[in-house]
Amino acid sequence: MAFSTTTIIDGLAAAILLTTFIAIASNRMFSLVRLFALQSVALGLLAMSVASITGAGHIYAVAVLTIGIKGVVIPWMLLYVMDKIRTTKEVEPLVSIPLSLLLCGVLTAVAFYITEPIIFTSGTITTITKNCLAISLAVVLIGFYTMIARKKAVTQIMGLLTMENGLFLAAISVTYGMPMIVELGIFFDILVAVLIMGMFAFRINKTFDSVDTTILRRLHD
């Protein structure tokens, strides 16, 4: 049982990393959102698996919230925003896709390099899911990288969300989730953040006739 569940967990973690890579490779906005939804669902399933092992009730709740908010509500909101501001359908990366993929590969290696002592050497962390830490850090870094390498405001929001997913994975993997109240607060914050950012994306579009953030260069020294 334990064997098979950890296999599932590892598989889901790998799926999350994979979706992140595909998101880097994709150049259609809609597929980005869909990939994000997929990733969130995978994350929710992973949380459920963990919950099934540890039997911690609040993780189930968190898993449901993840699937509900990140897998459904937020993608829907993003699609709504994209629809409203009628942006082009292309992603418009700053760095070419092959190079990005290469860099993200490097980032994954770096993430593993960084977390390696924590996972294997120190032995302080005893969770069965600790191997996922490297993947979660990789997802955080790649999400971060997305924000740097993409032009559009919406893609930046999605990069941030990807980072959050990575974080969430980390939380699950090394601590079996944060205390409930904290989790709830975090979800609330993320939701509000996306809302506000979406609003600003509107305002940017209205003011500049574009959601390209590289033209936001009035303020400089």
Instruction: Give the interface with other proteins as residue ranges (CB under 8 A).
Output: 94, 110, 113-114, 116-118, 121-122, 124-126, 137, 140-141, 144-145, 147-149, 151, 153, 156, 160, 163-164, 167, 170-171, 174-176, 178-179, 181-182, 185-186, 188-189, 192-193, 196-197, 200, 203-204, 207-208, 213-214, 216-221
4 vs 124, which CB is nearer to other proteins? 124
Q: Could you tell me the smallest distance in angstroms from the CB atom of residue 47 to other proteins?
A: 14
Least distance in angstroms from the C-beta of 137 to other proteins: 8
By beta-carbon proximity to other proteins, the closer residue of 7 and 189 is 189
H or E element in which residue 194 lies: helix 180-208
Distance CA 154, CA 8 (A): 32
Q: Give min distance, CB of 55 to other proteins, in A.
A: 12
Q: Pick the closer one to other proteins by CB: 63 or 160.
A: 160
Q: In the complex, what is the shortest distance from the CB of residue 128 to other proteins, in angstroms, rounded to a whole number?
A: 14
Which two structure tokens, joined as six digits, stand for 54? 């540890």
Using the minimum distance from each CB to other proteins, give the nearer residue, 42 or 174.
Answer: 174
SS (H, E, C) 11-77: HHHHHHHHHHHHHHHCCEHHHHHHHHHHHHHHHHHHHHHHHHHHCCHHHHHHHHHHHHHHHHHHHHH
Shortest Cβ 74–other proteins spacing (Å): 14
Cα torsion angle, 67, 44, 136, 175, sign: positive
Residue 152's φ and ψ, nearest 5 degrees, are -75, 150
The nearer residue to other proteins, 86 or 220, going by C-beta atoms, is 220
Q: Which residues, at least 6 apart from 85, have a Cβ–Cβ distance to it below 8 Å?
A: 201, 202, 205, 211
**Closer CB to other proteins, 60 or 144, in the complex:** 144
At its nearest, how many Å lie between other proteins and the CB of residue 173? Answer: 9
b/e 26-55 (16+ beta carbons within 10 angstroms → b)? beebebbbbbbbbbbbbbbbbbbbbbbbee
Minimum separation from the CB atom of position 115 to other proteins (A):
8
Between residues 38 and 164, which has the closer beta carbon with respect to other proteins? 164
The residues, ordered by sequence, that sit 6+ positions from 216 with a Cβ below 8 Å of its Cβ are 204, 208
